[in-house]
Amino acid sequence: MPMSPTLQTPTSNQSPPPPFRPVEAAEQRLSGRVVVVSPHLDDAVMSLGATIAQCVRAGTDVVVLTVFAYIPSSEARAGPWDTSCGYSTEGQAARARREEDRRACLVLGAKRRWLDFGAEPYERRGSQEEIWSAVDAETRGADAVLLPGYPLTHPDHSELSELLLRKGLSCGAVALYAEQPYRFWQRKTPLVSSIAPPLQDLIEGSLTWSRVLTDSEYRRIKRRAVQSYRSQLRHLGLGPFGLRRMIWHEAAQGGEALAWLPRRAEG
Ligand SMILES: [Zn+2]
């Protein structure tokens, strides 16, 4: 029976992948109740699907919390991305994409929560204070909360992580995760101490990226879960061949990537 994911830290930035060493303390942090904050309806599963599946199998209570999950009742005309995916309104995209996310989380064995805030380019339907307050309520008391952290090139991702780090969350520990498929598209992985530009003023001291070493079984589960996002895959360059390559590339780089932040007082 596989145990909790083993976190490993690279000792060099060179390519091909460097040797790794285990970080035992980090293993403890993915137990209990873990909330993975997903800006959109697919980010958490694409980025951390194997980790989530392995944690669930080890008994961790994992919640995928999507913040900009649209609102099913919206009649707003679909934005360019959702139009290209075949949707005509925000509400239609919300209903279909939430169903995709429901299936993906079911494959992983994770719980899921959706907040009704709008993604770019739709109306947000909430101030920054309201978004923070809603996320804080969902993550309060969690043993760990995982936030998007690299490369943070999508404005929704950077805005959300900046907001949550600036105001703080009432939870045990916070980690950043490397975002897929951005990491795959750029064909690079965060270096040991990489800090995405939007967070450079918010993170004091250094950051250390670790890799979550997962069994191939969990990479297969991740692939099945990601396949649930049918309306998104082709547009993301993740047809059957592309998705296999993304997961292979990720494994070759040592696995899904996390960087734990120093504990801080409640914000
Ligand atoms: Zn996203």
Distance CA 64, CA 185 (A): 23
Q: Which two tokens stand for residue 238?
A: 């993740």
Give me the pLDDT at residue 26, please: 42
Between the CA of 230 and the centroid of ligand 1 the distance, in Å, is: 15
Give me the pLDDT at residue 206, please: 81
Residue 221 has pLDDT above 80, yes or no: yes
Residue 81 has pLDDT above 60, yes or no: yes
Between the CA of 46 and the centroid of ligand 1 the distance, in Å, is: 10
Between the CA of 6 and the centroid of ligand 1 the distance, in Å, is: 26
Residue 87 has pLDDT above 90, yes or no: yes
Q: How does residue 3 score in pLDDT terms, banded at 50, 70 and 90?
A: very low
- Residues 144-201 have pLDDT tens digits of 999 999 999 999 999 999 999 999 999 999 999 999 999 888 876 677 778 999 999 9
Q: How does residue 68 score in pLDDT terms, banded at 50, 70 and 90?
A: very high
Q: Which two tokens stand for residue 141?
A: 């008391």
The residue-averaged pLDDT of 94-117 equals 98
Between the CA of 182 and the centroid of ligand 1 the distance, in Å, is: 9
The residue-averaged pLDDT of 66-82 equals 97
Residue of higher predicted confidence among 121 and 13: 121
Q: Which two tokens stand for residue 206?
A: 């250094």
Collapse the DSSP code of 183 into the 3-class scheme (helix H, G, I; strand E, B; otherwise coil) and give the result.
Answer: helix
Between the CA of 30 and the centroid of ligand 1 the distance, in Å, is: 23
Between the CA of 21 and the centroid of ligand 1 the distance, in Å, is: 31
Give me the pLDDT at residue 27, please: 54
Between the CA of 154 and the centroid of ligand 1 the distance, in Å, is: 7
Distance CA 184, CA 97 (A): 22
* In this structure, CATH architecture of domain 35-260: 3-Layer(aba) Sandwich (3.40)
Under 8 Å between Cβ of 109 and 55? no
Between the CA of 249 and the centroid of ligand 1 the distance, in Å, is: 20
Give me the pLDDT at residue 6, please: 43
Percent of the chain that is helix, strand, coil (3-state, to 5): 40, 20, 40
Q: How does residue 14 score in pLDDT terms, banded at 50, 70 and 90?
A: very low
The residue-averaged pLDDT of 12-22 equals 43
- Residues 240-267 have pLDDT tens digits of 899 999 999 998 888 899 999 987 654 4
- Residues 20-31 have pLDDT tens digits of 433 433 455 899
Residue of higher predicted confidence among 45 and 194: 45
Distance CA 156, CA 257 (A): 20
Distance CA 247, CA 216 (A): 10
Pick the closest to residue 42 from 205, 246, 200 (CA basis). Answer: 246
Give me the pLDDT at residue 193, please: 76
